Structure 1
Amino acid sequence: MAPAPLEEPWYSPAANLTKDTYTGPPRNIASIDALTFDPNLKPKRYKIKGTSPDSKILFTDVSILDSSGKTPYKGDVLIEGERYAAVGTVPNKDDLINDPKVKVINGRGRTLMSGLGDAHTHLSWNGGDLNGLGEMGVEEHTQLTADSAKIYLDSGYTMCFGAAAAKDLLDIEIRDAINEGAKPGPRYLANAREIARRDGDLVPGITAYADGPEEMREVIRRNVGLGVDQIKLSMSGEEITETRAAQDCYFSDEETAACVDEAHKHGIRLCAHARARDSVKMCVRHGVEIIFHGSYIDDEGMNMLEEKKTSHVVAPGINWIIATLEDAEKFGYSRRDAERVGYKKELDAAIRGLREMHRRGIIVLPGGDYGFAWTPHGTYARDLAHFKNLLGFTAHESIIAATRGVAALMMQGDELGQVKEGYYADCILVDGDPLNEIECLQDKDRLDVIIINGKVHKEKQVMAKD
């Protein structure tokens, strides 16, 4: 079932690696706003409990990076209960400042922006042996998963899209605990174990197996019964296994079509580990909405994806490849080994392909595969710098992808991902200018205030009311 590998990475004259000079407004907003997932596949709209409807928070003197596409502007922001009540100009500002019931935060010119989002999240990965996760005790693993959720929020991430869990109920239990207000964490859409063929698994201990269309339908139905928000297919290989090449596709068209049909019958979207060219094309051909990686896309696949770009999102997880080449050696996996199995070749192919996707208006979103030893939890904002430095995005476009873009992926673009009146108040106050120094988002010490659902999760004492 595995095709012959590509002789060379995909190239396009337009996808060169020269330094970008574009400095205009974000080019990815129109594509994000045009994304039209089938409304019958919309996840449940979860609410996070615990925010008093009488709560009022006033930010004064902030630089507002609102994810509308406008350049940041000076102003004030009022939050009432769970949502933004005024952005830019607050009519009764003086009265609010003098009201002892209002929490006033002096921004001192710092950047107020939407909370960030991760489009490919593994809360239950722990930085160790993934296969061993299947044997970890449920109580310990549940606590580990909850800890990861808190780290995401501590890092300024208020939206996460689950890409697979190491045990079927981990994502679901933590999602529900967050929504009940029992555990701190981001707004979360939950997954279960990834589905793989028996001849195409990546990590046996955390895989749900199915061969053939009918058995895959059975596993899809089981996952739906668990209460997942989406379902993941593991369609292609991964070089680090040294047995499943990234350019190999293990699913057939019949199996992919059956998975999509069964999931859509139950109102569930699909995502897929799809590095191989054939797996990417199967995703587009049959309607797998979220494509993880897409490294070895070819010309035909690129054209197919462009034609259906309002129905698909690509989340490349680019930091995994980069970190495997640059950071894994201290954990015992040398750069020589990483290059030998093909990660340098894949990185070159991925960069060129993703730059071309961005140029064509295909939606590319940051996030993915954090939780391995060399992609530790808490380092998620590395992706934003990679988008800017490698993939042809401006800093503003990277931030738009991580805010407005992930909100669209969550199918809540009408109330998440922007600092906008009426939207949920999920925001961070940053000691720095992310448009000029996007790396500042990697420094948790520079995230002075973190708010989710109108409730303060973190506030540096120096930022309290004067």
Structure 2
Amino acid sequence: MPLKNNKINAISFALSLILGTTFITPAIAQDTLILADAYIDVAKGKSINDAAIIVSNNQIIKVTTATNINNKADYSLIDLKGKTLVPGVMDMHVHLSFDAEDNFLESMNYSVPRQTVKAVKNAQKTLLAGFTTVRDLGASGYSVIATRDGIDAGDIPGPRIWAVGHAIGITGGHCDDNFPAPEAHAKAQGVADGPWEVRTKVRENIKYGANAIKVCATGGVFSKGTQVGAQQMTYEELKSAADEAHMRGLVIAAHAHGTSGIKDAIRAGIDSIEHCSFMDDEAIKMAIKAGTYLSCDIYNTEYTLAYGAANGVPEANINKEKQVSQAQRDSFRKAVKAGAKMVFGSDAAIYPHGDNGKQFSRMVTFGMTPIQALQAATINSAALIKQDNLGQIKAGFMADIIAVDGNPLDNISLMENVTFVMKDGVVYKQL
């Protein structure tokens, strides 16, 4: 740093002699030094004590120990004594434009501008909870794509967002709008029947800014008139969606609770299976062989059963949640034990945004070690969305760094109370 300053001073002095003008030396932005008790090396699966991380602009340029820093005065210092640093965590299944606390049926009539305002609010809540990257798997009117673009432009705070636009599904399926009366002729914007209609919807989403794709392979909990495990999209429809998404360089997810829908989605080349409620041993083996990622939202059941009725969720939907909750957790446990690729996906909006971190404890309760849970939300999620500069505290990676009081490898519930958030080298929270 002093060498850089001396060079600029010398240039300024030389110009002043030549031109007879006095130049004011520009201020030099200092690199940032973050000191903490430890950091989590998610690739090696352990914590490293006496952490010292040097950040320049939005990138980590050095990871070392405090004893190896010769002159701390050369840096803008962030002292996080008593804390452990963790890579900014990722949630691969959120819906930012909806709130669990709102009346379920009334919220379906929100305008797109109203949903966009919701997304802006929830993006900030999600970021402050330590989730620096999310994948939004369905929103009306490209509301979350607009929110993402506002974040990228620096207009509003929020995480990095991979957004699918409209979730694609069949007429009358889980991703259609089935609640209004028939004479309303309601139809969700992602409805498509047949392989070529599905391809068209993929192309339409991409046209309007989607950087990920989602299809609805089976019935679901929060839709009307669908059996939660019944397959809805055919193999041919799923294959056309996967082929089109991959041809355009995008990762594709499939909402799939039921066994046959899960298997056909894997056969079709879908990159991640969402929910995964009724997986048999064959489905898990297929996922492992194909390298398919599994995203299981195993936290939100308690919220739905405790507050769903008060928030206007119909009894039929609550009963469907009761059908899948234990099965989903059993499938999660089996998949972890078998060594399947797992990512962190919480379905935020089914529970309040900002509470995403509460799922970590559930993941450990149902079979993961603390480091496996953190890896699901960091290196595994980064691999799913094909980002080789996210998910680690490592030189050359983006400066997405969070901190908790204590060590989450000793107590994973610490991830529910993130006290420091840096995204892209900018500090958004420090307690």
**TM-score tier after normalising by the smaller chain length:** 0.7 to 0.9
CA contact (8 A) 2:257 2:278 kept: yes
Separation of aligned partners in 1, 2:284 and 2:271? 15
Name which one, 1 or 2, has greater alpha-carbon Rg.
Answer: 2
Q: Could you tell me how far 1:129 is from its partner in structure 2?
A: 4.6
Separation of aligned partners in 2, 1:164 and 1:423? 28
Q: Which residue among 115, 130, 148 is the counterpart of 1:156?
A: 130
Q: Which residue among 296, 304, 312 is the counterpart of 1:324?
A: 304
Q: Could you tell me how far 1:376 is from its partner in structure 2?
A: 0.6
**1:196 partner SS:** coil
Q: Could you tell me how far 1:259 is from its partner in structure 2?
A: 1.8
Q: Which residue among 199, 211, 227 is the counterpart of 1:229?
A: 211
Q: Which residue among 360, 364, 375 is the counterpart of 2:338?
A: 360
Q: Could you tell me how far 1:94 is from its partner in structure 2?
A: 3.9
Q: Which residue among 166, 178, 191 is the counterpart of 1:193?
A: 166
Matches within 5 A, 1:119-268: 119-127=92-100, 128-129=102-103, 132-133=106-107, 135-167=109-141, 169-202=142-175, 204=177, 207-241=189-223, 243-268=225-250
Q: Structure 1's 250 and 126: CA in aligned 2 closer, same or farther, altered over 3 A?
A: same
Matches within 5 A, 1:1-400: 54-75=29-50, 76-89=52-65, 93-95=69-71, 97-99=72-74, 102-127=75-100, 128-129=102-103, 132-133=106-107, 135-167=109-141, 169-202=142-175, 204=177, 207-241=189-223, 243-308=225-290, 310=291, 312-331=292-311, 341-372=319-350, 375-390=351-366, 392-400=367-375
Q: Could you tell me how far 1:88 is from its partner in structure 2?
A: 2.4
Separation of aligned partners in 2, 1:53 and 1:182? 25
Separation of aligned partners in 2, 1:165 and 1:242? 18
Relative contact order higher in (CA < 8 Å, ≥ 6 apart): 1
Q: Give the counterpart letter for 1:234 in structure 2.
A: C
Unaligned runs of 5+ residues in structure 2 are: 1-26, 178-186
1:436 aligns with 2:407: no
More deviation in 278-287 or 174-183? 174-183
Q: 1:176-196 CA distances to partner (integer Å, 9 max, x unpaired)?
A: 211122211111111111111
Q: Specify the alignment match of 1:406 in structure 2.
A: 381
1:423 aligns with 2:405: no
Unaligned runs of 5+ residues in structure 1 are: 1-51, 461-466
C-alpha RMSD over aligned residues = 2.4
Q: Give the counterpart letter for 2:300 in structure 1.
A: W
Q: Could you tell me how far 1:261 is from its partner in structure 2?
A: 2.4
Q: Give the counterpart letter for 1:182 in structure 2.
A: D
Separation of aligned partners in 2, 1:240 and 1:456? 37
Separation of aligned partners in 1, 2:273 and 2:249? 18
Q: Could you tell me how far 1:347 is from its partner in structure 2?
A: 2.2
CA contact (8 A) 1:111 1:433 kept: yes
Q: Give the counterpart letter for 1:85 in structure 2.
A: I
Q: Which residue among 403, 411, 420 is the counterpart of 1:449?
A: 420
Q: Could you tell me how far 1:198 is from its partner in structure 2?
A: 0.9
CA contact (8 A) 1:53 1:82 kept: no
Q: 1:86-133 CA distances to partner (integer Å, 9 max, x unpaired)?
A: 2123687242x224xx32122223111111110112111123356655
Q: Could you tell me how far 1:343 is from its partner in structure 2?
A: 3.2
CA contact (8 A) 2:35 2:66 kept: no
CA contact (8 A) 1:159 1:188 kept: yes
Q: 1:340-391 CA distances to partner (integer Å, 9 max, x unpaired)?
A: x34344222222221121122211222232113xx0111101211110012x
CA contact (8 A) 1:53 1:81 kept: no
The sequence identity of aligned pairs, in percent, is 27
Separation of aligned partners in 2, 1:70 and 1:262? 36
Please give the TM-score of this superposition, normalised by the length of structure 1.
0.79
Q: Structure 1's 60 and 199: CA in aligned 2 closer, same or farther, altered over 3 A?
A: closer
Separation of aligned partners in 2, 1:53 and 1:430? 31
Q: Could you tell me how far 1:330 is from its partner in structure 2?
A: 4.4
CA contact (8 A) 1:78 1:90 kept: no
Q: Give the counterpart letter for 2:203 in structure 1.
A: R
CA contact (8 A) 1:131 1:203 kept: no
Separation of aligned partners in 2, 1:203 and 1:87? 48
Q: Structure 1's 137 and 347: CA in aligned 2 closer, same or farther, altered over 3 A?
A: closer
Q: Structure 1's 440 and 203: CA in aligned 2 closer, same or farther, altered over 3 A?
A: farther
